[in-house]
Amino acid sequence: MIIKKYYLRIILLLILILSGIIAGYSLSRYNGYISNNSVEIDKSLQNKRQNVNEIKNNYSVRKKDKGVQEKNEINQKKDNLRNLNVNPIPRDSHKYAIQIVIYFFIFIFIFMLFYYLINNKGYKIHTKNISFIVFILLGIGFLLRLASVTLMEGFTYDIVCFKKWASVLSGGFTDVYKMKIPSDYPPLYMYILLIIGKIASFDNIGHYYVVLLKLPSIIADVATACIVFRVAKKYITIEMSILLSIFYVFNPAVFINSTLWGQVDSFFTLIIVLALFKLTENKIVFSSILFSIAVLMKPQGIIFLPILFFELFRKRNLKDIIKSALSCICTAIIIVLPFALKLGPLWIFRLYLNTMGEYKFATLNAFNLFQLLGANFQDDSETLFIFSYYNWGMISICLITLFSWLIYIKSQNSSYIFITALLLFAGVFTFSSRMHERYIFTSVALAILSYIYIRDNRLLVCAFFFSITSYVNTHIILYENSKVINSVEIATIVTMIISTINIFLFGYIIKILYDNIVKKKMVQINFVTNFKIH
């Protein structure tokens, strides 16, 4: 009887223990192979920058003379860049690509099954089990990431950069921006890499360098899933709250970005989610601090700054405006000052200008409108109809930002903060130039939280399809291009389909907002509550 009563908890606990054993076994047998040869890494990074610059110069030649010889030279440079190994890392790990695809389809099936059971069959979970179940599920998500983190070293160029920066930071704090090939990341994440570099310097830990580099994003995945649950249980049923939480933590799009690629988009997403959440809670100071941190984490954080302005404008409270401005400025000074003391007060502005101008291409493997038009890795100064790709992108950003502002003001409700952020972010990714494949990643969490606050069933559809587009975009670049840097030109039917879906999703979000704000109509889930699981 006891086993029958607690069978769900027993099963989950056994899975957690098994996950821990697998994670321990994987880590115990792990030997990282990232090169410690500083000269070799510097040469690789320099070659990469040189190839990028050569492609830019060749596109300038193409604008003057579109002869066959020049086009062939351009294609040759692209091939050189495509075949560039930035570090001799063994790549037999890319054989797991098929297994990841299988996991992707299994995840879709399981999510749809549980959604059906909750929505149509009214499955319930006894409230006494909630905290235990959520803790176990998130624990399983964390341990499975640790077990999988050794499957591949990650995206070569990014991992090499992070390791190089962490190593330099552990020896000289500001030297990371004085290197021959300096860091192009803003200073916030340099503090994280500093800690990683210090930890990795201890004996018997150095060979776990790649694991340490991926760990902040892995923790951020679990933390974001926890936030999803804590917010969701205030507005929707416990069952759906748990489902959305595990939808995020076991999502292949989330998993592949942090655990396999080794990128920091999960960490950035956590900051954005917290900033928007605190804004909905009217915690202006805390939210402003987090927005400032986001901008100093990645330049993409600038995309979200208008959301803070929208809310301040809606409230029209001078005290809040002053507190927000002071919070942003003080936070920026605290983060930037240790670097600025040695690099100069204008250093941070030069860094952002250089970073945002480093890859002047219509799209860099991002499956968006320009990808659909065949402009992948094409100089964004080239003309598309009347204007250049860059100008079209800037026009799009201005129009999308203005439209998002008008929609938010029309709503007169802070519950629309997340969906407005989703509209803005998805729009910029879809219609702006210089977008990378991973930038759409944050839309998954934004769509989930938009549903929680608006409770329109169509936002779950958005979360589902953003998961698909983000995963496919990342998978293709990571596995089809696992030996090279982030610049391969891909022209397949898959990229066209995914690009079209992203465009459609942007329009779908507009339709959802129109229905909810203008027509005052939403599509809701009708939950049946006649079955309980103990």
- pLDDT for the residue numbered 290: 97
* 185-214 tens-digit pLDDT: 999 999 999 999 999 888 788 788 999 999
**Across all residues in the chain, what is the average pLDDT?**
84
* 435-444 tens-digit pLDDT: 999 999 999 9
CB 441 within 8 A of CB 265: yes
* 339-373 tens-digit pLDDT: 998 888 888 998 888 888 778 899 999 999 999 99
- Please, how many CA atoms are within 13 Å of residue 147, restricted to the half-sphere of its CB? 16
Q: How confident is the model at residue 216 (pLDDT cuts 50, 70, 90)?
A: very high
Count Cβ atoms below 10 Å from residue 186 Cβ, excluding itself: 22
Q: What angle do CA 185, 190, 192 make, to 5 degrees?
A: 130
Q: What angle do CA 292, 295, 297 make, to 5 degrees?
A: 110
SS3 95: helix
pLDDT at residue 418 above 90?
yes
CB 43 within 8 A of CB 179: no
Dihedral angle at the C-alpha atoms of 309, 314, 316, 319, nearest 10 degrees?
Answer: -60
- pLDDT for the residue numbered 44: 54
Mean of pLDDT values over 429-453: 95
- pLDDT for the residue numbered 117: 86
pLDDT at residue 91 above 60?
no
Share of the chain above pLDDT 90, in %: 56
CB 251 within 8 A of CB 467: yes
Q: Two tokens at 516?
A: 């909810």
Q: How confident is the model at residue 67 (pLDDT cuts 50, 70, 90)?
A: very low
CA pair distance 269, 114, nearest whole angstrom: 26
pLDDT at residue 61 above 80?
no
* Nearest Cα residue to 372 out of 476, 498, 225: 498
Q: Two tokens at 509?
A: 């979000």
Q: How confident is the model at residue 533 (pLDDT cuts 50, 70, 90)?
A: very low
Least confident of 49-63, 132-146, 250-264, 497-511: 49-63
Helical axes 417-431 vs 265-280, angle rounded to 10°: 140
Domain ranges, ordered by start, for the chain: 359-526
The contacts of residue 328 (CB under 8 Å, 6+ apart) are 288, 289, 291, 292
CA pair distance 31, 89, nearest whole angstrom: 12
- pLDDT for the residue numbered 524: 54
* 6-44 tens-digit pLDDT: 677 788 899 999 999 999 988 888 876 555 544 555 555
pLDDT at residue 127 above 80?
no
Mean of pLDDT values over 145-154: 88
pLDDT at residue 47 above 90?
no
State the pairing for strand pair 531-533/383-384: unpaired
pLDDT at residue 121 above 80?
no
CA pair distance 243, 228, nearest whole angstrom: 10
- Please, how many CA atoms are within 13 Å of residue 433, restricted to the half-sphere of its CB? 26
SS3 456: coil
Mean of pLDDT values over 47-69: 50
pLDDT at residue 68 above 50?
no
* 222-233 tens-digit pLDDT: 999 999 999 999
The contacts of residue 533 (CB under 8 Å, 6+ apart) are 8, 123, 124, 125, 126
Question: What is the per-residue DSSP string for 104-150?
Answer: HHHHHHHHHHHHHHHHHS-EEE-GGGHHHHHHHHHHHHHHHHHHHTT
- pLDDT for the residue numbered 482: 47
SS3 198: helix
List Cα–Cα distances, 339 to 188, 296, 333, 343, in angstroms: 11, 13, 10, 6
Share of the chain above pLDDT 70, in %: 81
Q: How confident is the model at residue 485 (pLDDT cuts 50, 70, 90)?
A: very low
Q: How confident is the model at residue 70 (pLDDT cuts 50, 70, 90)?
A: very low
- pLDDT for the residue numbered 53: 54
CA pair distance 385, 208, nearest whole angstrom: 51
Mean of pLDDT values over 83-111: 70
Give the H or E element holding residue 364.
strand 363-364
Whole-prediction pTM: 0.88
- pLDDT for the residue numbered 78: 46
CA pair distance 442, 267, nearest whole angstrom: 10
Count Cβ atoms below 10 Å from residue 46 Cβ, excluding itself: 12
- pLDDT for the residue numbered 124: 77
CA pair distance 324, 164, nearest whole angstrom: 36
